[in-house]
Structure 1
């Protein structure tokens, strides 16, 4: 009997010892997991702080040359139902005493699922219906109602939703290039250019500072006129993107966004800009597909009283071409 009791007590002690050991092991695992989570939390916080400090450093570097605070525009952009991030890009020629004009109208489209980037240019003389203002050149929409009316005009004519806008005026363009590219942007200039651009450009591969690069994308005093200018604008945007990627790594991206932000009037927040830019800089292939509206064989020159020489387009053909380009 005493032996039975002794064995029973020994068994109970063993079970208690095993339970105690299991609790100790669970406790050690909890401590290890807690330690891992704390380390990850600290690393994430440090990365976030570093990104913020880099961003503020870029802002501080640029604000030394920024003038007056940019005008604030209302913008009722909507998210594209197909999941694309569509941004209205506007190049504005702001002059004192005059309404700002848009020499550049583009749709930059980012597909986060596929990681693709597309750029569609709408020529400024394209003759379309502008909500509550009748028919006119599409670039007059900005003078009538800022980026919001441009958005409405594109939606009404081409059935494309635009979620964000970004406006860069001539001065901002020059400052962005000079600040981000102290040694200039490498571009192949295809011919001698000087008329109405404020600088003289010689043919050949060369590094252009902001003022000369602006002259390059503004030039249209040749046989192809505005068509050549649109082609050069798209070329420069792709070149700038590729050259950013050659010397800017993802950790430097927040500072780059900080450099650009003071010169760009946009409703894009810093997080979105970094996210889109990170995808571009991280890709092995950074091909940007481009399109011009109107597409070939879909327009004719026409003179309209009060508007001058315009591009009269086959609206249905161009609407379908733009939607196919963006969505397929």
Structure 2
């Protein structure tokens, strides 16, 4: 073999090695960057969460299809105020269609609590934790739950600020100031995380909790659409690292990583939502043991929620 032939052979080897190792180095750099972003954000958030490390009893049914029903509980603590389960939602993710559906259950919905007297559905969590709430939802509405996620509301504002440092545009429906930390003016506003949290917290008007639940669903749809406009998942490690200390769940990390990008970055402009009880299916009542409740037509709402989730 001549010297020129050997040089040509060596050049080909260098080209082949470059084609193999350069992509590997780029992939390694991306994963390293993502890990460092996640770790830094996690460390910055972990000391602020009110969630403890106590184990939670939850005995879900086995997942038998590509749909996951997640019981989402929002814990709201402000100042010295005791934490409470202010928000009860069921989020369903369909892995096949990439669709997400959202059911909000009013916390004052009057239901049968297995092994206990009838009461507000929120009382099920106060009496027996997440597992009794799971049983109560299954008993009254026939919905199987596969996972739970308890979310400290502090994460909401932090995640919004990380994902959207320039704020999120919301059409504020009215002037709002009572019972929240930031006064909001009616009209289209660009809100930061803390202001957006106040918008979904507000309930000092004639709609009370009904308006709060409606705004929660509205904002989740807006945020979902905003996430879908992001052209890259570069922010995802930092977003996840910021949020994880504020979330307590039985979902495996592998499942979160699997469905997280689809939930965040698929366009959800048509995300469906349902509120329980539905309009016209309840009356306001007061009972000595429970106080003011929403006396609900359980069977009508059971049929509606099962049809909505395809149970």
TM-score after normalising by structure 2: 0.82
Other-structure match for 1:92: 75
**Shift of residue 117 of structure 1?**
0.6
Q: Which has the higher helix share?
A: 1
Equivalent of 2:116 in 97, 109, 133: 133
The answer on whether the counterparts of 2:71 and 2:148 sit within 8 Å (CA) in structure 1 is yes
Aligned pairs (5 A) from 1:216-295: 216-247=199-230, 249-284=232-267, 286-295=269-278
**Shift of residue 245 of structure 1?**
2.8
Greater mean alpha carbon deviation, residues 284-293 or residues 231-240: 284-293
Does 1:73 find its partner at 2:35?
no
**Counterparts of 2:38 and 2:252, CA distance in 1:** 12
**Counterparts of 1:300 and 1:47, CA distance in 2:** 55
Does 1:113 find its partner at 2:80?
no
The answer on whether the counterparts of 2:162 and 2:239 sit within 8 Å (CA) in structure 1 is no
Equivalent of 2:139 in 144, 156, 159: 156
Distance 1:227 1:131, change over 3 A: same
Equivalent of 1:301 in 280, 284, 287: 284
**Counterparts of 1:95 and 1:201, CA distance in 2:** 19
Unpaired runs of at least 5, structure 2: 1-18
**Counterparts of 1:216 and 1:71, CA distance in 2:** 31
Greater mean alpha carbon deviation, residues 107-116 or residues 56-65: 56-65
Distance 1:74 1:188, change over 3 A: same
**Counterparts of 1:85 and 1:197, CA distance in 2:** 34
* 3-state SS in 2 of match to 1:306: coil
**Counterparts of 2:83 and 2:268, CA distance in 1:** 37
Equivalent of 1:147 in 130, 144, 158: 130
Other-structure match for 2:9: none
**Shift of residue 253 of structure 1?**
2.2
Other-structure match for 2:196: 213
**Shift of residue 146 of structure 1?**
2.1
**Counterparts of 1:201 and 1:109, CA distance in 2:** 32
The answer on whether the counterparts of 1:219 and 1:229 sit within 8 Å (CA) in structure 2 is yes
* 3-state SS in 2 of match to 1:134: coil
* 3-state SS in 2 of match to 1:139: helix
**Shift of residue 159 of structure 1?**
1.2
Aligned length in residues: 296
The answer on whether the counterparts of 1:192 and 1:200 sit within 8 Å (CA) in structure 2 is yes
**Counterparts of 2:55 and 2:231, CA distance in 1:** 30
Distance 1:74 1:42, change over 3 A: farther
Does 1:198 find its partner at 2:174?
no
**Shift of residue 125 of structure 1?**
0.6
**Counterparts of 2:149 and 2:231, CA distance in 1:** 22
**Counterparts of 1:159 and 1:225, CA distance in 2:** 28
**CA-based RMSD:** 3.1
Deviation digits for residues 228-282 of structure 1, max 9, x if unmatched?
Answer: 1111000111112222233362344233212211122222233222222222345
TM-score after normalising by structure 1: 0.78
* 3-state SS in 2 of match to 1:183: coil
Greater mean alpha carbon deviation, residues 130-139 or residues 169-178: 169-178
Equivalent of 1:316 in 295, 299, 302: 299
